[in-house]
Amino acid sequence: MSRDTWLEQLRRGGLDLAILLAVANGPRYGLAIIQHLEAFTDLVVGEGTIYPILGRLTREGLLDATWVEGEAPHPRKYYKLTRAGAKRLREMTLEWRAFADKIDRLMAATTIGAGREPVRGRGEDDRDAD
Amino acid sequence: MTLTETGQSRVNGYLFVLERSLKTFLPMDVVRDAVREIESHVRERIAAADGSPNEREALERILLELGPPLRVAKAYSAERIVDEAIATERFVPMLRAVWHLAVTTAAGFGAALGILIGYLTGLAFLSLALLKPIFPDNVGIWVRDGHESLRTEFPWRLGAQFPIPPDEHVVGGYWVIPICLFLGLLVLVLNHRGTMKFLSWWRYRRVS
């Protein structure tokens, strides 16, 4: 797998979570979500491809979409988290942190030669004692 | 930035192509909503742009960041059609998803061809089971005259022939029916599962 493919897979894996996080503190319309993601991440490659994902998350019941008129010269479609979306966001956040933590530990354990002692995994001490 | 008539035409052209592309695969209410949302995005970007160095370049930059209308339409339709097929596992949404992938990607075309052959094979077995009671002398395992044993006629030729060839006849009886029913259903179920697996795989690697 090339580095680009791997990065692309990472990006795709994180995009749903990032979009849910973007509306976690309150409703946002499409462009505001994109700008929020662009301010913190480089997950947005094509702006136009974010909208289909917003549509899917809405169909899945994780987001609720409402058109608002009069706020700007053109109508805006606002997205907000549903109760199911908030629950999914909590689960995804926990999963993501747990996953990142495991990878961090693994990376720390493989820093041999970089002047650091490898971090021992669970059970390794017991095996050594035997 | 306020658009001139030329700039407005460019935006309308973009939205027109997007709408035409979406119409091919999506229901009209979904198309209208999607185009309205993309138009809102473009208008928002235009309102925030300062128009430098000139309207044409500023507008092209906005549309480039949004992506070509065909790509946007592809992402919309793929998200919706493939997701619907996987979520419902129903035959019609699945066929629609396969058709969509077949006309938009090379891998989809190859997979659709295999899936079509699979369904036709399954349906052919079921057709034989249905035709056997109606045309008992035309449906079954065919052997040449003088070769009554199936051992000497390998590979076996199961099928229906109209009219009956002069030097061939069918062997076996109505036991062909349950065998054809079993094989037909088995092929259809396996093909259906294979199609769902393909769609799931495609969803995993889709454009996002």
Instruction: Verify whether the Cβ–Cβ distance B76 to A55 is below 8 Å.
Output: yes
Checking if the pLDDT of B79 tops 60, the result is yes
Q: What is the edge-to-edge ordering of all strands in the sheet holding A76-81? A: A28-29, A76-81, A63-68
Band of residue B162 on the pLDDT scale cut at 50, 70, 90: confident
Q: What is the pLDDT of residues B13-71, one digit of tens each?
A: 999 999 998 888 788 998 999 999 999 999 999 988 887 788 889 999 999 998 899 88
Band of residue B143 on the pLDDT scale cut at 50, 70, 90: confident
Q: Helix (H, G, I), strand (E, B), or coil: what is residue B173? A: coil
Q: Which residues contact B65 (CB under 8 A, 6 or more apart)?
A: A46, A47, B45
The interface predicted TM-score of the complex, written ipTM, equals 0.76
Instruction: Verify whether the Cβ–Cβ distance B41 to A47 is below 8 Å.
Output: yes
Q: What is the pLDDT of residue B41?
A: 93
Place of tokens 């190859």: B110
Crossing angle (nearest 10°) for helices B106-134 and B176-204:
160
Q: What is the pLDDT of residue A120?
A: 54
Q: What is the pLDDT of residue B207?
A: 44
Structure-model confidence comparison of residues A60 and B153, the more confident one: A60
SS3 of chain A = CCHHHHHHHHHHHHHHHHHHHHCCCCCEEHHHHHHHHHHHCCCCCCHHHHHHHHHHHHHCCCEEEEEECCCCCCCEEEEEECHHHHHHHHHHHHHHHHHHHHHHHHHHHCCCCCCCCCCCCCCHHHHHHC
CA atoms within 13 A on the CB side of A110: 6
Chain B residues contacting A, CB < 8 Å?
34, 36-41, 43-45, 47, 65-67, 71-72, 75-76, 78-80, 83, 207-208
Q: What is the pLDDT of residue B150?
A: 63
Q: What is the pLDDT of residue B101?
A: 84
Q: What is the pLDDT of residue A130?
A: 47
B163 sits in which H/E element: none
Contacts with B, A 100-129, CB within 8 Å: none
Structure-model confidence comparison of residues B60 and B85, the more confident one: B60
Residue boundaries of the structural domains of chain A: 3-121
Q: What is the pLDDT of residue B208?
A: 43
CA distance B177 to B173: 9
Which residue, B184, B178, B177, B170, is CA-closest to B132? Answer: B177
Checking if the pLDDT of B121 tops 90, the result is yes
Question: Is B4 in contact with B55 (CB distance < 8 Å)?
Answer: yes
Distance from CA of A8 to the nearest CA of B (A): 9
Interval B189-194 mean pLDDT: 93
Q: Which residues of B touch A49 (CB under 8 A)?
A: 67, 71-72, 75, 207-208
Q: Helix (H, G, I), strand (E, B), or coil: what is residue B149? A: coil
Q: What is the mean pLDDT of each run of 10 residues along chain A (130 residues)?
A: 78 88 95 92 82 89 93 90 96 95 91 54 51
Within chain B, residue ranges assigned H as helices are 5-23, 28-48, 55-66, 69-88, 91-104, 106-134, 176-204
Mean pLDDT of chain B: 86
Percent of chain B with pLDDT over 90: 35
The CATH code that applies to domain A3-121 is 1.10.10.10
